[in-house]
Amino acid sequence: MKNAIYFDMDGTIANLYGVENWLDYLIASDPTPYKVAQPLVNMNSLARLLNRLQAEGWHIGIVSWLSKSGTAEYNEAVTATKVEWLNRHLHSVNWNEVVIVPYGTPKQEVVQFATGILFDDEIPNRNNWTGTAYDVQNIIEILKGLR
Ligand SMILES: [Mg+2]
């Protein structure tokens, strides 16, 4: 069994909900909040740790939802914006897996290694996860403790 670590994005590593009027933008099918969301974690520390863990054999992934009510076109724009965000803020990380799926998709059903670790700000996602799930507190400290 492969050791794997997955991250949610919105509310976990990206402060989408800290963007003023974020919901109005989403309702208007404007992907701007996904672009301007500030990191919630020290990105230098996160990148360094992820690169080290990956070198030690860990599988590193993203599993993130699209906006709640989006057209196919908006979903495409949000997907592209999320990938751009990752490239911008975690440029040195070479993800093994990036899964961006419709809102509400059970995360444990769409990743390669659902017995791995998930960091996610939403309680239902953590409860449904089949591996070990953590909230957004102490991400760096938890990663430091992994071997
Ligand atoms: Mg989230």
DSSP letters for 65-124: E--SS--HHHHHHHHHHHHHHHHHHSTT---SEEEEE-TT--GGGTSS-TTSEEE-S-HH
**pTM above the 0.75 mark?**
yes
**Distance from residue 139's CA to the centre of ligand 1 (Å):** 14
CATH superfamily assigned to domain 4-144: HAD superfamily/HAD-like (3.40.50.1000)
Q: How far apart are CA 85 and CA 131, in angstroms?
A: 26
* Domain boundaries along the sequence of the chain: 4-144
**Distance from residue 33's CA to the centre of ligand 1 (Å):** 14
Identify whether the C-beta of residue 94 lies closer than 8 Å to the C-beta of residue 59: no
- pLDDT tens by residue, 58-82: 999 999 999 987 899 999 999 999 9
